[in-house]
Amino acid sequence: MDRKHILDLVADMSLEEKAMQMTQLSPDLLYQLTPTNLTGPLRVWKFSDEALWKTGSVLGPLGAAFLKKLQKDYLAKSRQQIPLLFMTDVIHGYVTIMPIPLAQGCTFDPDLTEEAAAAVAREAAASGLHVTFSPMADLVRDPRWGRVMESSGEDPYLNGQIAAATIRGYQGKDPREKGRIASCVKHFAAYGQPEGGREYNTVDMSRGVLRDFYLPAYREAIEAGAAMVMSSFNTVERVPATCSRFLLRRVLREEWGFEGVVISDYSAVEELMNHSVACDDMEAGEKCVHAGLDIEMMSGVYAGTLQQLLDQGRITREEINECVTRILELKNRMGLFENPFKDADEEEEERLLYCPEHLELARRFARESMVLLKNQGVLPVSRGRIGLAGPFSDTGNILGGWHCEGKPDRTQTLLQALKAQWGEGLETAMTEHFIHGEADVPDRVEEAVERLRDCDICIAAVGEPEWDTGEATSRTNLRLTPNQEKLIHALHGAGKKVVAVLFSGRPLDIAPVLQDCDAVLQAWFPGSAGAAAAVDLLLGKYNPSGHLSMSFPRNTGQIPVYYNHYETGRPETEKENHYTSRYLDCANSPLFPFGYGLSYTTFTCGEMKVSEDLGKVSVRVRNTGERSGETVVQMYIRDVSASVVRPVMELKAFRRISLEPGEEAQVEFSVTKEMLSFYNEEEKWVWEPGAFDLMVGLDSEHVERERIFIPAGTGEQEAL
């Protein structure tokens, strides 16, 4: 369908039809008692039956058969034959669940991320879905906030690379292609920085911080072709993002040229009244229309107010038409006017969901995402008797929050994976999992120590319940529960070699047990094949290669702790100087820094070399161990002196490499003007001549450093 046809459709629509196109509802409001996959406080509005069946999009419907029926019933009532859009939260898998996005960031592997997202899209598309509310490009620094699991971490560049790869995987070159779905990037903007790490709380930051750290990943997502953007619940500069003209019009549309659809989060338009920026539905609707919010999710403000607002001259017909046109253009981009059922296919659904190919991909993805935090020579396990204890020993609840249609009861457990790969010589104890509503697992520590007394190595499968991560799961205490800590201490006290396998949706405070662990493998919530992936690593069938996408704190009081903080006038450089920016009772540095990750082999970086034209930096990386392995070489830049304060270092490039024992590779990075640029006080994107520190290393704390000077008058070409 061409644009003229779309404009003709818009011109032919009644105001009620337009308002309902701008409204997203759940199918249980169209069909009574229909099961849906919903979040947020469910409300019911008094729409007429006729108006309900003019709704433009549906939230949360699942299954090819049901979606085909819903679309067919809808079109039978549609005057203009404008098809429905079906949207839901497919965050890290539909039925085959991939590792949580925070773990995906630890792979530093956009290509694998794209491959996995394409598999997720195939499953979702076969089930009839058109749009996923993913990826979440929110930068995160505070693990008290439960939704850090949905982000790829604390770094703007890595976040943007992973978001863009995810979008390419979902949409391909054209989202109307078979097996593709449209991507809605969220939550625009800065949702990942709520005060105190408390869900739905105020976000308050300078515009410089917003532009330096929080906006870049969204922009990468837009440049990757994201079809939609979801506005965030929070305020930015005292204005809720839902109705922020600065964010939705100036930044998103005027500066970045975004032409797609903007949707609110769940009931966020109504919540403008709770924010005290709207006195009633009329004012809420008016502000959102002016901001260019195209669709309101799960509230009835547009449907109930647009006619009055138009009659009173508070909004224009042109503003409404712009919103509706964008919605219809998205439906056209998906090919729904030609084929309203798109890829919904029960046979294809049966073939793809949880298929062996997708499970194997999930296993490979999980292996790359796990991070070896500590190893005092006990891993990999090659002989002896293994003991297994802890609440994650024998549970399928390792999929993570937002696991859509994932099946914990079909998910292989760590115990099952060990039995399959290790066989005999395995003892278990204290394997009871968490119970909803219970703060801890039962205390069976003494019994566990006794049962595991003859074991050579004890694996403690510990962590946080998956239902304590995701939306509305903020925490003030990030330690393991008392009985889990007690288990680790007791096993160590009994003289056992302790290997902790951590299942979590965020960096936990593990300092209290770290000294009693001989090895620590951060498994995150690894998805449908995560248990097998963890055992692959524990037994040395594969070498750990994940690197942290988010720093681990030394304790909760140190939060937020992140690597790319701004310079301060009194940095902690002289330990004997009391009047520096430091704590009295804790180091400033994290327990484990961004980019950190161990291997069963060792790597060294040689001396950095910078090309004469300053446009290239290279380093030789050598595998100095006895195993083949992969690592992530990271390049950081620091602006030594600028017109505004700049971060102490910023990741600008990375490369994942594989080396055999004794093998050496030269890794080269380009240094571009884009990498040296920033937003100045006037919010202009500039680069300033002067001194820059180039740094290369295998994590953000251990780097080789070379200072370069770029004189004034250097040309404006992209490469130096």
Cβ atoms of 227 and 130 within 8 Å: the answer is no
The Cα–Cα gap between 228 and 107 comes to 26
SS3 632: strand
Instruction: Check if 73 is active-site.
Output: no
The Cα–Cα gap between 555 and 692 comes to 33
Neighbours of 250 (CB within 10 A): 12
Question: DSSP state, 104?
Answer: H
Cβ atoms of 129 and 90 within 8 Å: the answer is yes
The Cα–Cα gap between 548 and 555 comes to 17
- The DSSP bridge pattern shows strands 703-710 and 690-697 to be antiparallel
C-alpha triplet 650, 652, 658: angle, nearest 5°: 120
Quick one: which of 580, 629, 570, 640 has its CA closest to 602?
A: 629
Question: DSSP state, 533?
Answer: H
Token couple for 667: 């890794």
Cβ atoms of 124 and 98 within 8 Å: the answer is no
Catalytic residue among 109, 265, 394, 536: 265
The Cα–Cα gap between 281 and 295 comes to 15
SS3 153: coil
Q: Give the length of the chain.
A: 720
SS3 138: coil
The Cα–Cα gap between 527 and 132 comes to 18
Give Cα 685 to chain centroid, integer Å.
27
What lies within 8 Å, CB to CB, of 11 at 6+ separation is none
H or E stretch covering 429: strand 426-429
The Cα–Cα gap between 345 and 128 comes to 7
Token couple for 97: 């669940």
Looking at residue 514, its amino acid is L
Quick one: which of 545, 471, 548, 637 has its CA closest to 152?
A: 548
Catalytic positions, written as ranges: 265
